[in-house]
Structure 1
Amino acid sequence: MKAERLWNIRFVQLVLIEALFQFGAYMTNPVVSGYAVALGATIAVGGVLAGLSASMALVARPLTGWLADRLAKKSFLLIAAALFCASAFGCALSSSVAVIGLFRVMAGIAFAFRSAAVIALVSLSVPAERLGQAVGWTGIAQTVSCALGPAAGALVIGAAGYPASFAAAGVLFVIGFAVSLSFREPAGAAPAPRPAKPAAPRAAAPGRPASGPRAWLERFIYLPNVPVAVMAGLSIVPHGVAVTLLLTAGELRGIAGVSAYYAVYAIAALVSKPTAGRLTDRWGTRRVVAPALVVELAATVLLAGMASLPLVLLAAACMGVGQGSAYAAIQAQAVRDVPAHELGRASNTFYIGTDIGMGFGPMAAGAVLQSWGVGAMFLACGGLVLLALGILAALRPPNPTT
């Protein structure tokens, strides 16, 4: 039976686990390329290493999606923590670029395991009517880590070198493993028993074959979440582009102090995510996501026409409120009313969309920036937000709270 309070012991543990995993990752992910270059690799090789973790997370998701509802979700937390520990300490102890690449692959697989478990367990650990609020608070761990993790990693590197930054992250992952070990699974977290031999094949629902490509795909993907994953992937692209290319865009426009964007974005997202989650519980997903995407669209227009630092900071506030709110609400919808035995695949499917958006969005945006400039790049991002709005309008809510 689920706890009646939002901040019960299980939820507190899950927020702490997410914070430890995310902070450790943000201490190391931004410095991998610099570490590789310091060891003698080219900048191009450093860039490949920097992208290995996200790429491997995407590649591993079909496997973790298949396993997600066959293994206990606590097992996923422990596997993720163990892989994170091995990756961080392995990078700290290695001086070979190739070996560090293998450990970064391990970190990507760890992320795939972690994302198939955390939000699924959150949905089982809090009251159903407060799920949106819970997801919003969980998302704060990522926002704070994004804002402070790279700075913490840089401080450690300045004081003791690159290996020390990975070792410090490893200590956080060890603590995360300990908290995961003490976590007690809520009802529904264990995998459903599978009959050895079904008595007779079930009849296929109208329009849905019992076997074939769709049945094979359903082993890895929670198909009802595909539109949700696409919407999340489209709406996260402007954030990914701002994270990777805004400083370059500011230089091209001759604007100083653009790095302040990230602090303003983090503050706005910190305030908006729990609020958006609470409003989603009261008003439904559609009524929160639609205006949030409109605010995000305004942010892309401001960035396309940015000519001064105040415009950049206004765009940061709009992006934090718009993208932060939309992400929290869509993520909650990805696990809302999903049967317990399918929560792992449902959560995993959601993250496939965001992996693609964060991974390939900045790549395409870089080509647009080089060919057509800053304005075209951010207007293209705005077009993707409009497409997400179109998907939201086309979705038929399964229940009145959607």
Structure 2
Amino acid sequence: MTQSPLTEPKKLWNIPYILVLTVSTLSSFSFYMVATILSKYLVGLGASITFAGFVVGLFSITSLVCRPFCGVMADRLNNIWLLIVSNLLMSIGLLGFAFTNSMPLMILFRVCNGVGFSINGTVQMALIVHFIPKDRTGEGIGYIGISQLIGSACAPAVGLEIADRLGMPAAFLAAALLTIAAAVMLLFLRDIQPPKKKAAKKGISFGDFFERRAVPFTIPYSTFSFANGVINGYLVMFADEYGIEKVSVYFTMYAVAVFLVRPFSGKLMDKKGLQYTVFPGMIACAASLFLLGFCNSLWLILLTGILRALGQGAAQPSLQAGCINHVGRERSGVATSTYFLGGDIGQGIGPMVGGFILAQIAGLAGYRVLFCFCGALMLAALGYFYVMFPRNAETKKNL
């Protein structure tokens, strides 16, 4: 593996792009394979449900703490080697789950897995943008989202099937093999990042950890994560209030709709601009949340899920692509880490706020207030983005 001179790729589907896309799919698949079985596995080993919840939640805490440092590393160090190390860290954590019954070691391996996954997500995005033509940034980043969506939609079922047939340790081993395969594949990748310029002054500043120019994109993205956390945590309970069964179909239809809309939304953003995907996308998503609280049948809930998927599938990758374009590819690492930091915070706070609202307002009224609150929060973020959206025509063109 060597570093070659920086040259702009002429087409999107070049070999390095496909390779990193494959690595992204493998890493995502590995993560989601074990996400649904870890707590059950720990309880089966004799851990309390409280301890199991702590270990599962430790992943998010680790990710939140590591995220700013990931941006610094992505902008200063070789992205390919960072990605190899991150996949190996994930594999070490997964192998540890398979081969130990020690609860203190489970904590250590969970932290190891979380650090690896946090580095992986940030560095992956910082690396792949160098293999995407600038005039197809939205489309290229959209496909990265699809690769991760494949993992979230398919991997849990695969992990459960392996666990049922061969035992849970086998599921962790299979997940570890995927990350090892990803690390091996990266050895064949040539790095086309520009040589790092020597900084005029030594040391690290706050700007190396946090990119303030990314904030206008991060805040709207955080509201999507907030709503995701709320729906993932409380949709089933909301359906139970109405006696609605098989509401899990909502998540499948949502994933399929996002899968279908992302390639088209990326192309639309590249051709027309960010305003053609983010503004209507956020309005559609907010509308779906306002409507959700008043749905009293499965088909109505599913319709709101499709509307939400169309909105989020259009707006979310466009925000990420716009963030990188606005900040600049040379700062793509810290831009991505700042952007993802908003998502980490939104995903974590959403269920907490939801629990507080439902504790204060009982029954269906509580769920209606909660979902409407999510919609209002998204519209407020949209208003903020509108105010902060660059008015300069040339800047808009670059976005």
TM-score category, normalised to shorter length: over 0.9
Q: Is the 8 A contact 2:213 2:327 kept in 1?
A: no
Other-structure match for 1:389: 382
**Greater mean alpha carbon deviation, residues 332-341 or residues 299-308:** 332-341
Q: How does 1:156-305 map to 2 (within 5 A)?
A: 156-188=162-194, 190-195=195-200, 216-305=205-294
Give the direction of change, closer, same or farther, for the CA distance of 1:144–1:370 in structure 2 (3 Å limit): farther
Q: Is the 8 A contact 1:123 1:336 kept in 2?
A: no
Picking from 12, 29, 54, the partner of 2:18 is 12
Alpha-carbon distance in structure 2 between the residues aligned to 1:278 and 1:340: 19
Name the aligned partner's letter for residue 66 of structure 1. Answer: V
TM-score, structure 1 length as denominator?
Answer: 0.92
Write the deviation string for residues 343-375 of structure 1: whole angstroms up to 9, x where unpaired.
211111111011111122122212223332211
Number of residues of Structure 1 aligned to a counterpart in Structure 2: 385
Q: Is the 8 A contact 2:70 2:123 kept in 1?
A: no
Other-structure match for 1:95: 101
Shift of 1:82: 1.0
- For structure 2, the residue ranges without an aligned partner over 5 or more in a row are 1-6
- For structure 1, the residue ranges without an aligned partner over 5 or more in a row are 198-210
Shift of 1:306: 1.9
**Greater mean alpha carbon deviation, residues 18-27 or residues 356-365:** 356-365
Write the deviation string for residues 301-344 of structure 1: whole angstroms up to 9, x where unpaired.
22211210011110110121111221111111121154343221
3-state DSSP class of the match of 1:168? helix
Q: Is the 8 A contact 2:74 2:126 kept in 1?
A: no
Picking from 54, 57, 60, the partner of 1:51 is 57
Instruction: Please state if 1:343 is matched with 2:332.
Output: yes
Q: How does 1:24-35 map to 2 (within 5 A)?
A: 24-35=30-41
Alpha-carbon distance in structure 1 between the residues aligned to 2:19 and 2:30: 16
Q: How does 1:80-119 map to 2 (within 5 A)?
A: 80-119=86-125
Alpha-carbon distance in structure 2 between the residues aligned to 1:370 and 1:191: 52
Q: Is the 8 A contact 1:133 1:274 kept in 2?
A: yes
Write the deviation string for residues 181-203 of structure 1: whole angstroms up to 9, x where unpaired.
22111132x43333578xxxxxx
Name the aligned partner's letter for residue 269 of structure 1. Answer: V
Alpha-carbon distance in structure 1 between the residues aligned to 2:176 and 2:310: 32
Other-structure match for 2:4: none
Shift of 1:264: 0.5
Q: Is the 8 A contact 2:29 2:148 kept in 1?
A: yes
Other-structure match for 1:68: 74
TM-score, structure 2 length as denominator?
Answer: 0.92
Name the aligned partner's letter for residue 165 of structure 2. Answer: A
Q: Is the 8 A contact 1:240 1:357 kept in 2?
A: yes
Instruction: Please state if 1:316 is matched with 2:309.
Output: no
Alpha-carbon distance in structure 2 between the residues aligned to 1:173 and 1:91: 14
Q: Is the 8 A contact 1:70 1:192 kept in 2?
A: no
Alpha-carbon distance in structure 1 between the residues aligned to 2:283 and 2:175: 37
How high is the sequence identity, in percent, across the aligned residues? 31
Q: Is the 8 A contact 1:335 1:343 kept in 2?
A: yes
Alpha-carbon distance in structure 2 between the residues aligned to 1:379 and 1:111: 33
Q: Is the 8 A contact 2:253 2:306 kept in 1?
A: yes
Instruction: Please state if 1:376 is matched with 2:365.
Output: no
